[in-house]
Amino acid sequence: MTKPTIVLLAAGLTLGGLSTAHAQSGGPSTAHAQSGGPGAWDPDAAAAYLDQRVDWWSGWETAARERGTFCVSCHTTAPYGLARPMLRPAGGAGAASRYERKLLDSVTTRVAGWTEVGPFYPDERYGAPKTSQSRGTEAILNALVLARHDERNGVLSDRTRRAFDNLWALQRTDGADAGAWPWLHFNLAPWESDEGPYHGAALAAVAVGLAPDGYRARAEIRDNVARLGGYLRRRLDAQPPFNRVMALWASGALPDLLTGARRQAIVDEIADLQRKDGGWSLSSLGAWTRRDGTPAETGSDGYATGLVTLALRRAGLPRDHEAVAGGLDWLVLNQDPDGSWPASSLNRGRDPASDRGRFMRDAATAYAVLALAADDGR
């Protein structure tokens, strides 16, 4: 792999590998100037962007659900729930922001009323099997959000245990998909598509790994965790690079998930997809085409770069590994003035200034934060 030109930033040299979004806007972001120079990023700006977006989502009529709750989306609220606790004061604990509490309250209400609240997308309106897909997807995302919150506080709460109970009750126990969950499919890449169930299972593994108090090793879930690991291993070779990155991330939570040789093969594959500017392009991690016929963006983006860099770190690669260093440097360089990172839809061309057009930017910002915060030791 060509050494990323982005690492020359510290020497004050001109960079030749800017992302498409920044090239079109006339240059790189001003994040360095805002946050103290090369090697720095602006956590406060990232927090402000993420808070504003989850505040909008929680009040959007389309996202609203019963009992004053709202959908836990793969693009805005679930990534927010993972990333926002990492932006609290040093040490990671302390009070959640009011926007975090809004998400936590919504998730808690739905976990507590699991048997009474309706699915996000009922069969009666959307056709079978949307009810079961909704339940499986929500169960995973609820556990993920709550496990992250507990991980930062160091204590497994009753509500998180209940979320995991809901999760395991829906895990498939036989057939080709034993170990996985029903997962929403709306022909929307990369999450609600053919690759979705594997993505969801990997997130379930991450949630288990985040849960404190030795939850992963508890006897009552040993068989569930074994089934989950078996599914992720069994289906790995059939996955696009996007999901192999997810398996790499999950391997940090389930140490026996991948052999050393299989882990290294994924690392090598992903390193080969790294662009000369140090980043990764989401469109290169799968065989996706936009339904409106517009060309997908091929430049480096914050979602792919954040996710890959995070996965490489969680798999044990050091900060000075060439692929990791290039990814982190790209993320530092490409934070926009509003605190976000660029990314675009795989499904259709969207107005990047619209709320729907920001969905991928929401995910990109959360995953950029996760990668950078991990590197900062947060």
Q: How many CA atoms lie within 13 A of 255 on its CB side?
A: 3
pLDDT at 377: 67
Residue 100 is assigned to a structural domain of this protein: no
Q: So what's the pLDDT on residue 94? A: 66
Q: Which residues of 128-151 are buried (b: 16+ CB within 10 A; e: fewer)?
A: eebbbbbbbbbbbbbbbbbbbbbb
**pLDDT tens digit string along 237-268?**
999 999 999 999 999 999 999 999 999 999 99
For residue 68, what are the contacts with CB-CB under 8 A and spacing of at least 6?
Answer: 106, 109
What is residue 178's predicted lDDT score, i.e. its pLDDT? 98
- Has residue 132 been placed in a domain? yes
Length of the chain: 378
Q: Is residue 223 part of a domain?
A: yes
Report yes or no on 106 lying in a domain: no
pLDDT of 27: 31
**Can you state the angle between helices 322-333 and 260-272, rounded to 10 degrees?**
50
In angstroms, the CA 118 to CA 154 distance is: 31
At which of 217, 233, 249 does a domain end?
233
Q: Is residue 276 part of a domain?
A: yes
From 219-233, 337-351, 364-378, the region with the lowest mean pLDDT: 364-378
Same domain? For 79 and 9 the reply is: yes
Is 253 a member of any domain? no
* 83 and 142 housed in the same domain: no
Domain count across the chain: 2
Q: What's the domain range around 45?
A: 1-95+259-378
H/E stretch holding 223: helix 222-234
In a domain? residue 104: no
Please give the structure tokens belonging to residue 52: 């504003």
Give backbone dihedrals phi and psi of 342, rounded to 5 degrees, phi first.
Answer: -75, 145
Distance of alpha carbon 312 from alpha carbon 364, whole angstroms: 16
The tens digit of pLDDT for each residue in 11-34 reads 222 222 223 333 333 333 333 333
127 and 181 housed in the same domain: yes
Q: What are the beta bridge partners of residue 188?
A: 192
Rg for the chain, CA atoms, rounded? 20
SS3 188: strand
Q: In terms of domains, do 7 and 79 share one?
A: yes
Could you tell me if 286 and 342 lie in one domain? yes
For the whole model, what pTM was predicted? 0.89
Residues 9 and 76 in one domain: yes
Same domain, 373 and 269: yes
- Between the CA of residue 180 and those of 118, 135, 198, 218, 285, what are the distances in Å? 22, 13, 7, 19, 22
Any residues with CB less than 8 A from the CB of 230 and at least 6 apart, and which? Answer: 178, 179
Residue 5 tokens read as 């030109």
Strand, coil or helix: what is 361? helix
Alpha carbon distance 140, 327 (integer Å): 28
> What is the rounded CA–CA span in Å between residue 195 and residue 270?
18
CB 147 within 8 A of CB 153: no
DSSP conformational letter for 103: H
Which of the four pLDDT bands, split at 50, 70 and 90, describes residue 4? Answer: very low
Residues 205 and 280 in one domain: no
Residue among 197, 65, 232, 88 at smallest CA distance from 148:
88
Same domain, 263 and 375: yes
Check residues 67 and 39 and name the one with the higher pLDDT: 67
Mean pLDDT of the chain: 89
Are 200 and 251 within 8 A, CB to CB? no
